[in-house]
Amino acid sequence: MSQPRTVPPQARAQLATFPLLEALFGRRSRRFGVGMQIPGGPFAYTSRHAPQPLSETERLLLVAIGAGIPWTESGDPNAGCNYPTRPIGRAFPSGAATHGSELLINDDSGAWITRFRDLDATSLREYQEPDDLARLVAFLRPHIHRVRDRRVELPPEFPHVSAHNRWVANQPGTTLFVPIADQAESLLNLLWISTGEGVPIADPARGTLYGDPAPLIEAGRLHPERAQKLPLLEAKSVASATAELAIAAYNIHLVMQAIGLGGWLFSGLNPASLLGGFRDAGLPGFGFRFAPAAPGTPPQPLGLDGLFEPLVPPYVPDMATAVRRFAARKFGPGGNYDPHRPGPLRDAEAVKGGIDRYDEAFIVYLASLATDIHARHGSFPATVPAVHFNTVTQAQHIDLEYYDRFFKPGAYLPTHEGHQALWHADEAPPLGQ
């Protein structure tokens, strides 16, 4: 992304002091932006302004909110929790502190993806004062990578865009923020947590257990009477990731009220279309790799080469390797519980040294479990894609004249009314504003 201009002091102050309750109760879906047109119906209207893309500063601020502002977290020092996978916290919660999500960005400047999940924070809280915004943006900006040099376009038709979003979604001047989950890593973490509770994983179709649980059953570490069906565990994994992504998208929407940007949350874009599952039809999307689709089933995204690679083939040679890499991500050199990795603990050696680690018998069982799931179903996870998204936030500059035409006073906030003067004081205003 190009070098952002400095956030004006008055804009920084407004953003830092905007009341949470005002953001919550003032939040609305403000879909009509400058440059848009509603062709028919009771709200038929054509904007007399040209589309106005978000500035680089506006975009980066929303990226920092939506992909999470890193701050260090290495589990509960008192309980010795070993659930977290990465030594960062985010501006949103993550199931079992997996923190495997990233953010896709799509606008007139191109298509982008963040790579924040493996960063090390420099302090316990990266944001404390309004002036920290510029430092945060500078810290995160090098880790936002371009995927396409122009906007990813989708035909406004089935199955790519739902009917009521076709006039507005992904239009010129708008910016899409798409939080995505590493569903494979989420499942690996839940398999570890379940196994740690002595729970083997069952295949309801065959009435058998996955993997080779016999050694751990004999050792009293797994209890067959506690067996859980894999579809239930995967549903829990999806619910956890969905909550994470939705909260990240909602955080962006809340901050848009403080900045004075319009937009809304929606789910009317086909994930396969946006990620690249229709490349054979001339729609490359974000360029994700997809598994061959079985007849009558949608294509399943696997990852984005070099940028977002879940621990599934072809990014690993097999699932046994995936499990060992996942274990190393937690407990290996440079991993989350490596005392030498930067973090907030006063005595990292003492705290991290006391964390319960995977032993070899445990890793061998997890490897057999993941290998068997992949072999039986031809994928990992078995019932959901390795890459997942549900909620999208779109941001744009709203057309005040449209809202004045159709709505009573109060349809937009004072931040929307004063946005151009505050955030674009050194730019030529759009026609009529």
Q: How large a percentage of the chain has pLDDT more than 90? A: 69
Q: Which of 35, 320, 265, 217 is nearest to 311 (CA)?
A: 320
Query: pTM score, two decimals?
Result: 0.91
What's the pLDDT score for residue 97? 72
Q: How many CB atoms lie within 10 A of CB 349?
A: 10
- Residues 402 and 175: their CA atoms lie apart, in Å, by 20
Task: Classify residue 218: in a domain, yes or no.
Answer: yes
- Pick 138 or 309 by higher pLDDT: 309
Task: Classify residue 145: in a domain, yes or no.
Answer: yes
pLDDT tens figures, 131-187: 667 777 778 889 999 999 999 999 999 999 999 999 999 999 999 999 999 999 999
Residue listed under structure tokens 């319009």:
262
Task: Classify residue 1: in a domain, yes or no.
Answer: no
What is the pLDDT of the chain when averaged over all its residues? 89
Structural domain including 136 reads 9-423
Task: Classify residue 2: in a domain, yes or no.
Answer: no
Residue-wise DSSP of 76-140: -TTTT-----SS-B-SS--GGG----EEEEEETTEEEEE--TTPPPSSS-S--STTHHHHHHHHH
**Within 13 Å, how many C-alpha atoms sit on residue 256's CB side?**
30
Amino acid at 399: D
Task: Classify residue 78: in a domain, yes or no.
Answer: yes
- Residue 282 in this model has a pLDDT that exceeds 90: yes
Overall number of domains in the chain? 1
- Residue 2 in this model has a pLDDT that exceeds 60: no
- Pick 236 or 8 by higher pLDDT: 236
Task: Classify residue 226: in a domain, yes or no.
Answer: yes
- Pick 233 or 131 by higher pLDDT: 233
Task: Classify residue 428: in a domain, yes or no.
Answer: no
Residue-wise DSSP of 298-363: --EEEEBTTTB--SSTTSSSSHHHHHHHHHHHHHSTTSTT-TTS--S-TTHHHHHHTS----HHHH
Residue 318 belongs to domain with CATH number: 3.40.109.10
Whether residue 386 contacts residue 373, with contact meaning beta carbons closer than 8 Å, is answered with no
Within 128-219, strands assigned E span: 144-148, 175-182, 201-203, 208-209
What's the pLDDT score for residue 332? 84
Task: Classify residue 253: in a domain, yes or no.
Answer: yes
For residue 271 the two structure tokens come to 């994930």
